[in-house]
């Protein structure tokens, strides 16, 4: 079976052609995975501007879909279905993707699957590694910071979320405060290399509490204070602040994951497999810390290749294939800009809707 996947929920316009493999749990086969990043369109604003994103998706999407079909050497009529991200994300982009997918599905008489973007991330480890259920997912991007128990297709439990900023957003805001360009994550990581992580002892928010949830806004305030109080904010001081920030973030994630491992072990009487996804999962220090945590705890650690950790349409096509194979309902309910993967998880009072804090105009 082969699916076309379409992804336009944030600042990547993407299309992919993915096929199932011999085994039902994967791995699958990626015939084409085309991603156009809009980073340059947004860089001047220091964050994603929803109106610019929507316009850029309109301009790029048709060409991206054609490239994916050409690269895979398939025609729309040969496909078994079409999967498109219908949430969560920025409404304008979601409309562009779903309208296009709907039109293609209607014209070529193919089943249409409207997919939760987070489900795409959650199932990627099956596309790449044929990972069996259940497993734990750490999703850390510019819009999301969650620890999820992935029990099966359509069966997710959110164990932790941020109660304020997403982690990628915290990296981007830290960079902005220090005068580093957008997107901030890679810049902070680079600067941190020549800094002393102990020069500033930044807070580890919510540490010692029972919750697995995370909070990064206090950390951001501490970074701002350190920057304001520095006699000279030269490149050495910027490096110290970045190193201190990264150390705090790494400690927080390691602490929450270690306790998530305890919970998993109590439930399943075995150590978990941990999957990392999202742009922040590119951070080398974080990857090293997570892989050594897994080693210590006898857990399996899977970090899918970077191009499948960040936003892409292969994961959306794959989620469509998994649903199609299991005959899971595929009613088109239109776009859902706010759409928790675990419907039973309570909304966090301080958490912003996807994208709200990412716009360049905001601090």
What residues line the site for ligand KG4 (CB under 6 A)?
Answer: 10, 141-143, 168, 171-172, 183-186, 189, 278-280, 282-283, 310-311
Among Zn ion, ligand KG4, none, partner that 168 touches (CB below 5 to 8 angstroms by kind): ligand KG4
The span of 133-141, 264-272, 324-332, 339-347 binding Zn ion (CB under 5 A) equals 133-141
CB of 320 to ligand KG4, least distance (A): 19
The span of 11-19, 27-35, 107-115, 306-314 binding Zn ion (CB under 5 A) equals 306-314
Pick between residue 100 and residue 310 the one whose CB is nearest to ligand KG4: 310
Pairing state of beta strands 300-302 and 273-277? parallel
Q: For the sheet containing 81-87, what is the strand order? A: 29-37, 12-19, 2-7, 81-87, 112-116
| Phi, psi of 131, rounded to the nearest 5 degrees | -65, 130
CB of 143 to ligand KG4, least distance (A): 5
Among Zn ion, ligand KG4, none, partner that 38 touches (CB below 5 to 8 angstroms by kind): none
Q: For the sheet containing 135-140, what is the strand order? A: 155-161, 145-152, 135-140, 273-277, 300-302
Peptide bond into 17 cis (omega under 30): no
The backbone region for 179, taken as left when phi is positive above 0, alpha when psi lies in -120 to 50, beta otherwise, is: left
Among Zn ion, ligand KG4, none, partner that 282 touches (CB below 5 to 8 angstroms by kind): ligand KG4
| Assigned token pair, 21 | 């493999």
Please tell me whether residue 169 binds Zn ion under the rule CB under 5 A.
no
- 136 with 290: CB under 8 angstroms? no
Please tell me whether residue 311 binds Zn ion under the rule CB under 5 A.
yes
Among ligand KG4, Zn ion, none, partner that 360 touches (CB below 5 to 8 angstroms by kind): none
Among Zn ion, ligand KG4, none, partner that 171 touches (CB below 5 to 8 angstroms by kind): ligand KG4
Pick between residue 20 and residue 141 the one whose CB is nearest to Zn ion: 141
Pick between residue 104 and residue 163 the one whose CB is nearest to ligand KG4: 163
CB of 145 to Zn ion, least distance (A): 11
DSSP state of 214: B
CB of 350 to ligand KG4, least distance (A): 19
CB of 42 to Zn ion, least distance (A): 16
Buried b / exposed e along 92-129 (16+ C-beta atoms within 10 A): bbbbbbbebbbebbeeeebebbbbbbbbbbbbbbbbbb
CB of 171 to ligand KG4, least distance (A): 4
Please tell me whether residue 12 binds Zn ion under the rule CB under 5 A.
no
DSSP state of 269: S
The span of 47-55, 103-111, 136-144, 230-238 binding Zn ion (CB under 5 A) equals 136-144
Nearest residue to 321 via CA among 20, 7, 16, 9: 20
Distance of CA 228 to the CA centre of its chain: 32
Residues near Zn ion (CB under 5 A) are: 141, 311
């Amino acid at each position: 079976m082969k699916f076309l996947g379409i992804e336009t929920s944030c600042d990547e316009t993407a299309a992919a052609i993915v096929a199932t493999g011999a085994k039902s749990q994967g791995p699958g086969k990626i015939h084409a995975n085309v991603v156009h990043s809009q980073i340059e369109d947004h860089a001047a604003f220091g964050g994603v501007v929803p109106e610019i994103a929507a316009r850029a998706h309109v301009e790029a999407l048709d060409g991206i879909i054609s490239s994916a079909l050409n690269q895979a050497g398939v025609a729309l009529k040969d496909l078994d279905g079409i999967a498109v991200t219908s949430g969560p994300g920025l409404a304008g982009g979601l409309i562009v993707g779903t309208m296009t997918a709907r039109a293609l599905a209607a014209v070529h008489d193919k089943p249409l699957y409207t997919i939760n973007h987070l489900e795409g991330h959650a199932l990627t480890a099956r596309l790449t590694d044929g990972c069996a259920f259940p497993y734990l997912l750490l999703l850390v991007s510019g819009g999301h910071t969650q620890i999820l128990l992935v029990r099966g297709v359509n069966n997710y439990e959110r164990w932790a979320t941020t109660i304020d900023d997403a982690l990628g957003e915290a990296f981007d805001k830290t960079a902005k405060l220090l005068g580093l360009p957008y997107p901030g994550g890679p810049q902070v990581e680079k600067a941190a290399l020549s800094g002393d992580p102990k020069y500033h002892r930044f807070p580890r928010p919510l540490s010692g509490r029972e919750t697995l949830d995370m909070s990064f806004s206090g950390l951001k305030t501490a970074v701002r204070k350190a920057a304001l109080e520095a006699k000279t904010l030269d490149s050495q001081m910027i490096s110290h602040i970045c190193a201190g920030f990264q150390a705090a973030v790494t400690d927080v994630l390691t602490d929450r994951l270690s306790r998530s491992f305890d919970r998993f072990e109590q439930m399943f009487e075995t150590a978990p497999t941990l999957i990392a996804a999202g742009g922040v999962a590119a951070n080398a220090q974080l990857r090293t810390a997570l892989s050594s945590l897994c080693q210590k705890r006898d857990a399996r650690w899977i970090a899918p290749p970077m191009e499948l950790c960040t936003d892409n349409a292969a994961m959306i096509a794959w989620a469509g294939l998994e649903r199609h194979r299991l005959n899971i309902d595929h009613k088109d309910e239109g776009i859902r800009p706010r759409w928790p993967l675990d419907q039973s998880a309570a909304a966090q009072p301080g958490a912003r809707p996807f994208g709200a804090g990412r716009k360049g105009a905001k601090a």
